[in-house]
């Protein structure tokens, strides 16, 4: 069960894009650009990057993404370069801590 978030939270979709040079990209060592898309339609311009799957996993855990969804993210990124994580609720303090 997820911890109850304190303060006003923003519900959003996290979109993860794997970046690399050339045709094949190794998901373990790829650079990931993360976009935060609030469901209210507002825009956020900061798009943090994480280098490597371990760093991306740490980011997702910090964002409160449940382990089964993190595992689905790993599987999806092994097959394609873009993946979205739905229904993320973050407080303003969490957004700041994540660089969003």
Cβ-based neighbour number of residue 19 at 10 Å: 12
In a domain, 100, yes or no: no
Half-sphere exposure of 89 (CA within 13 A, CB side): 8
Task: Report the predicted TM-score, pTM, of the whole model to 2 decimal places.
Answer: 0.73
Question: Other C-beta atoms within 10 Å of 81: how many?
Answer: 15
Domain presence at residue 97:
no
Confidence band, pLDDT 50/70/90 cuts, at residue 81:
confident
Asked whether residue 36 is domain-assigned, the answer is: yes
Q: Is residue 5 part of a domain?
A: no
Residue 1 in any domain: the answer is no
What's the pLDDT at 24? Answer: 63
User: Domain range for residue 41?
Assistant: 10-91
> Number of folded domains in the chain?
1
3-state secondary structure of 50: strand
Q: What would the pLDDT profile of 16-63 be if each residue is shown by its tens digit? A: 676 654 456 778 888 888 877 766 666 565 677 888 889 999 999 988
Residue 35 placed within a domain:
yes
**69 versus 8: which is more confidently predicted?**
69
């Amino acid at each position: 069960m997820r911890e109850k978030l304190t303060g006003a939270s923003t519900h959003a979709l996290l979109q993860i894009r794997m970046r690399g040079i050339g045709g094949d990209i190794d998901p373990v060592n790829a650079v990931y650009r993360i976009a935060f898309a609030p469901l209210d339609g507002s825009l956020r311009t900061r798009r943090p990057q994480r280098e490597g799957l371990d760093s991306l996993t740490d980011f997702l855990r910090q964002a409160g993404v449940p382990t089964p969804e993190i595992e689905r993210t790993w599987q999806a990124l092994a097959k394609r370069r873009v993946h979205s994580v739905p229904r993320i609720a973050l407080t303003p303090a969490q957004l700041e801590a994540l660089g969003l």
